[in-house]
């Protein structure tokens, strides 16, 4: 994992990762404290700041990510391009760009804010709860992907029609449709009407 200013304080010199803290927020997205990452996802869940990224290629196809099998939360399921949590005090935009690079090895050629969405999604497989105030971002990817195998099991670029087919047959994250629907206005503005989003 590349060490950036945002991750430097979260990685120790011996290569082990320190406890990851999340930013707890109120219903308006105002910071009210912090919690350890796993603790924030234990039932009933603590409302925390998150982000979701939707990147598209020049043909208007969405980049999907299959989460690596080794992940403790929602392993092996498909989801949006990248999602995660800002560190306390880290801007959501900076966190989105950082994690996209860390997970997929690319920096978006365009990344724009696409609103926020609040949700509460229990994951029946893990028993964990996604209680999130999620900042949405849409953008373009124009460089070859270099996924981190510890984070990403597979990737796929899909059209809107292909996504519908894939969603009907493959497992997806519990939050995927919520964040996709919330980001659709910005996605349509980015990709144009002919892309079908």
Burial of 7 (0-12, 13-18, 19+ CB in 10 A): middle
In degrees, to the nearest 5, what angle opens at C-alpha 137 toward C-alphas 173 and 181? 50
Q: Among 29, 35, 71, 75, which residue's Cα sits nearest to residue 51? A: 29
| Residue tagged active-site, from 23, 103, 132, 151 | 132
Residues 6 or more apart whose Cβ sits within 8 Å of residue 109: 139, 140, 141, 142, 143
The structure tokens listed for 176 are 């995927």
Is 83 part of the annotated catalytic residue set? yes
The residue to which tokens 């373009």 are assigned: 140
| Residue tagged active-site, from 83, 103, 130, 151 | 83
Residues 6 or more apart whose Cβ sits within 8 Å of residue 193: none
Residues 6 or more apart whose Cβ sits within 8 Å of residue 18: 10, 11, 12
SS3 call for 161: helix
Catalytic residues: 83, 132
């Amino acid at each position: 994992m590349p060490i950036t200013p945002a991750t430097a304080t979260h990685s120790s010199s011996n290569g082990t990762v320190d406890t990851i803290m999340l930013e707890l927020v109120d219903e308006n997205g105002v910071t009210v404290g912090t919690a350890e990452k796993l603790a924030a996802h234990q039932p009933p869940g603590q409302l925390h700041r998150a982000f979701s990224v939707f990147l598209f290629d020049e043909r208007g196809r969405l980049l999907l990510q299959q989460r690596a099998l080794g992940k403790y939360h929602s392993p092996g399921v498909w989801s949006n391009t990248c999602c995660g949590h800002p560190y306390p005090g880290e801007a959501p935009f900076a966190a989105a760009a950082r994690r996209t690079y860390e997970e997929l090895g690319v920096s978006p050629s365009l990344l724009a804010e696409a609103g926020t969405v609040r949700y509460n999604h229990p994951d029946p497989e893990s028993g964990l709860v996604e209680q999130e105030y999620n900042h949405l971002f849409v953008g373009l990817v124009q460089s070859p992907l270099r996924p981190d195998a510890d984070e990403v099991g597979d990737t796929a670029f899909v059209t809107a029609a292909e996504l519908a087919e894939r969603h009907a047959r493959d497992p997806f994250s519990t939050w995927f449709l919520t964040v996709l629907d919330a980001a659709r206005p910005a996605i349509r503005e980015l990709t144009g009407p002919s892309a079908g989003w």
